[in-house]
Amino acid sequence: MLLFFVVGLCVHIVFFASIFDIYFTSPLVHGMTPQFTPLPPPARRLVLIIADGLRADALHEFDENGNPRAPFIRNIVMQEGSWGVSHTRVPTESRPGHVAVIAGFYEDVSAVAKGWKENPVEFDSLFNQSKFTWSWGSPDIVSMFAKGATGNHVFTYSYDADSEDFGAQDVSKLDTWVFDRVEEFFHAARNNQSLYSKLNEEKIVFFLHLLGIDTNGHAHRPTSREYKDNIKIVDEGVKGLVSLFKEFYGNDEKTAFIFTSDHGMTDWGSHGAGHPSETFTPFVTWGAGIKSPQRVPAQQFNDTLLKEWKLEHYKRQDINQADIAPLMACLLGVPFPLNSVGVLPVGYLNSTGAFRAESMFTNAVQILEQFKVKMSQKKEVTLPFLFTPFKLLSESKQFDILRKARSYIKQRKFDEAVLLCKELIDLALKGLSYYHTYDRFFLGINVVLGFVGWASYASLLTIKSHAGLPRGVGKAVKKPGCLLPCGFAAVGILMAFFLLVQACPWTYYVYCLLPVPIWYAVVREYQVIQDFVTSLLTLPPSHFVGCLLACTLGIEVLVLSFFYRHMLTVGLLVFAGWPFITQLWTRAKSVSLSWVFFCLLLAVFPLMPVVGRKPDVFLVMGAGLLLLLLSLFVGTSLIKREDGFANEKLLLHLSQMLSTALAMYVVYSTHDSLLQKQGLPLANQVVSWGILASSFVLPLLSPRGLLERLFSILVSWMSTYLLLSTGYEALFPLVLSCLMFVWIHMEQENLQQSGVTYKPKVSSLQFCCSADVTQCRQLCLDDIRRAFFLVFFLVTAFFGTGNIASVNSFDLASVYCFLTVFNPFIMGALMLWKILIPFVLVMCAFEAVQIATQLSSKSLFLMVLVISDIMALHFFFLVKDYGSWLDIGTSISHYVIVMFMTTVLVFLNALAQLLTTRKLRLCGKPKSHLI
């Protein structure tokens, strides 16, 4: 069985990784020829200002006094330049956003997990094509593009990473630091002849990365005074920067300015997904080569932003984020970044028709080059009779469009040339997507075969080992001849040879060869399949159809809960009626009433707003107080009992109550300190980490009695959960655990319906290191319900706390008791642990249910894996890489969450067994305690 779980874990890791190979791989190709506009550019230098985390609406809105939030930028929009909304893509994170702006392409979704400091793949950028680039800002961002540049022409200046402190007194200093250093830099250049000459070269770039707005948004929310005041500071800084450039360059009108953002931010201070508040970012440009404001009578957009911003009569030109890179290259006269897929927004250019047409022609040839390389690469590794070219853009059509566009330019039909080039770009981008997803169907079929095969094998293993089928299984089964293994081996060899001939990457071998041994294992169990089918045929048709419909409906409810959290409420309301449709109501009224009460109480949580949107420290304190009262009640019962272990139990219990009290103090103290902008106190930080570490040890000191050990786990882990809570979610594990305790009693009471004669009291049950196999019974239909209950409670453990199936639903404020200095990996690990705590509480209760119902842990766990895999297969088919970015981001999140849940179940099961069955003994205990 250990081998089965190890293999199962590897199989699920493969399934988990497959989505990124099938849907989201790096779009980059290499080997293209640089392309640049042959005419003189309008600008000698370009200033790129990226205000990290700035929402478009936050920049253009008016303050409470009716004045513009950013008066200088608004004056630019109305008097000097052009503007619009830049639409970003998923994931809306800093790294992919900056890559889109500066390099002109969209990184694959998995790149966000590969770090902020290193490039997963080499790519070209505007900085690399420039003669010189100077960058100021966050060390995570400015260093990223310096490492990707060739030669020694990109210079970076950054503050210390520890300055990115969410609990700091004033994080807007991150932005004032940038503006101050730029001013000092230009003052120093006057006395440095070498630097002065470089600054007077053409094709140079100045990049200012402003992190203060993003940091204030995470720490205080975008609706906060700190976030809005930071926008004013940035606006003043940009005003001073423009004056500085005019003074230094003698107002030569050869400087182009671009002001934008890498991503927006939700109202609750997160980003990463595809909500409009995250994907709508400001784009304002002015200076050399940029059109002045264009007055228009009316504009048509699918939003009400123009009216809210009072900019209805100033032409708004929306662009995609990647379009900024070709615009900057065009203004400077440098080659377009080789990997750019951006389309030049010619509407922003204040230049001759010839320049616009030539620039657009260059843009088309540059993207067509990528298409040609991509097609050539795919053609080289595909067997000739299997290769299907992109029919909409044949070589003859490419030649015709380019020839016709060049002819239009010669005839001075510039608008026609621009339209034709846009048509070519559109076709080339479709062709790039076609070849990029060329193998998708082939890979998808193989992964689905693996999925179905694995779920089938796990089901057969469960039936064979634990279902007690009719006599057919018990008979001696003839061993299959060599024909079956030889046949599957031949299929595997043929598949490997096919992949080898096509020079496929090693991951293709994994996806395509994995189904072969899985289905061989399934077919080998043909006797089990035969006996199972025979057993099903003995059931009344109505009974069989009813069970099948119930299972299908249950799984669909679980799938729908990923889209609509209130479906969990519906499910819990149905659960509340369970005692009334069985004999439980008449046999155990008090337990049944408790079950109904806690089901209804838990059903409220999926209806609550998403966690972090309305933080409330007093709800966290209330949850801690309830936990203390519950602990006091249990502690009082321990004192009343005359037991040899009473002193030890009492000491442990008091320690856990002290841990809870300390957690409450730390939460309140940290909240108060951060409100006063005094940062995270060191003592609070030390205590928080200490409580987290102790939560793994204290439960192992408690007795192995079923209820005592479970309560010890609850109290220890709730202390950690309090430290990671910001509002009502602190109450959730408490209510969930109460329902779990009642569930154990309900299942034990329900045993009589399974024909079990001996029914021990729950209070007398013990967790054991090695289960007695002779005490385990065979599976029955009711055990499918138990497995479904577990999966439902696990899904509730995730969504019930207010999380939504999206990256942006996790609030950084959750980790402020542990650290406030930005560290994405530690912060991510802590937020992940917060999610896992309710999972572990459910899994520990599940261990108790298995003991109470005399079931083999392996049998019930196998059924849970099968249900989870069926859900995962649903979401595999629902993954999208088209449509709105909200839909794409949500579909990715759904699959990642359910696959993560399925994969981590193996670890959670092992952790639950460790927490419930192991016992630590303190050194130096009196021998009498060991008797």
Q: pLDDT per residue over 281-321, tens digit each?
A: 999 999 999 999 999 988 888 888 899 999 999 999 999 99
Encode pLDDT of 922-931 as tens digits: 654 444 333 3
Most confident of 112-126, 562-576, 751-765, 872-886: 562-576
Q: Closest Cα to residue 688, out of 537, 587, 818, 493?
A: 818
Long-range CB contacts for residues 513-518, cutoff 8 Å, separation at least 24 = 514/11, 514/14, 514/446, 514/450, 515/446, 515/449, 515/450, 515/453, 516/488, 516/491, 516/492, 517/488, 517/492, 518/11, 518/450, 518/453, 518/454, 518/457
Rounded to whole angstroms, how far apart are CA atoms 704 and 754?
Answer: 27
pTM: 0.77
Count the Cβ atoms, other than its own, within 10 Å of residue 223.
Answer: 12
Q: What is the gyration radius of the CA atoms in the chain, in angstroms? A: 32
Encode pLDDT of 415-471 as tens digits: 999 999 999 999 999 999 899 888 888 888 998 999 899 989 988 888 887 666 665
Q: Closest Cα to residue 404, out of 428, 422, 420, 383?
A: 420
Does position 575 have pLDDT exceeding 80, yes or no?
yes
Measured CA to CA in angstroms, residue 778 lies from 462, 756, 775, 781, 782 at distances of 10, 11, 10, 10, 11
Both tokens of 552, joined, read 């299908």
Specify the pLDDT at position 731: 92
Which helix (H) or strand (E) segment holds residue 51: the answer is strand 45-51
Are 712 and 699 in contact by the 8 Å Cβ rule? The answer is yes
Are 829 and 755 in contact by the 8 Å Cβ rule? The answer is no
Percent of the chain with pLDDT over 70: 88
Rounded to whole angstroms, how far apart are CA atoms 296 and 293?
Answer: 10
Specify the pLDDT at position 785: 86
Beta sheet of 154-158, edge-to-edge order: 154-158, 132-137, 204-210, 45-51, 255-260, 280-287, 82-87, 319-320
Q: Closest Cα to residue 262, out of 92, 133, 61, 145?
A: 92
> Residue 660, Cα to own-chain centre: how many angstroms?
31
Q: Burial level of 877, CB count in 10 A (0-12/13-18/19+)?
A: exposed
Higher pLDDT, 713 or 706: 713
pLDDT bracket for residue 148 (50, 70, 90): low
Does position 351 have pLDDT exceeding 90, yes or no?
yes
Encode pLDDT of 886-895 as tens digits: 566 677 777 8
Long-range CB contacts for residues 345-349, cutoff 8 Å, separation at least 24 = 345/317, 345/319, 346/418, 347/82, 347/291, 347/317, 348/82, 348/285, 348/290, 348/291, 348/317, 349/42, 349/289, 349/290, 349/291
Q: Which of the 8 DSSP states describes residue 292?
A: P
Contacts of 284 (CB under 8 A, 6+ apart): 73, 76, 77, 81, 82, 83, 258, 259, 260
Specify the pLDDT at position 193: 94
Q: Which of the 8 DSSP states describes residue 79?
A: I
Dihedral, 6, 11, 15, 16 alpha carbons, nearest 10: 10
Are 848 and 710 in contact by the 8 Å Cβ rule? The answer is yes
SS3 for 708-724 is: HHHHHHHHHHHHHHHHC
Give the 3-state secondary structure of residue 82.
Answer: strand
Encode pLDDT of 5-29 as tens digits: 788 888 888 888 887 777 767 778 8
Measured CA to CA in angstroms, residue 404 lies from 123, 408, 414, 503 at distances of 32, 6, 12, 38
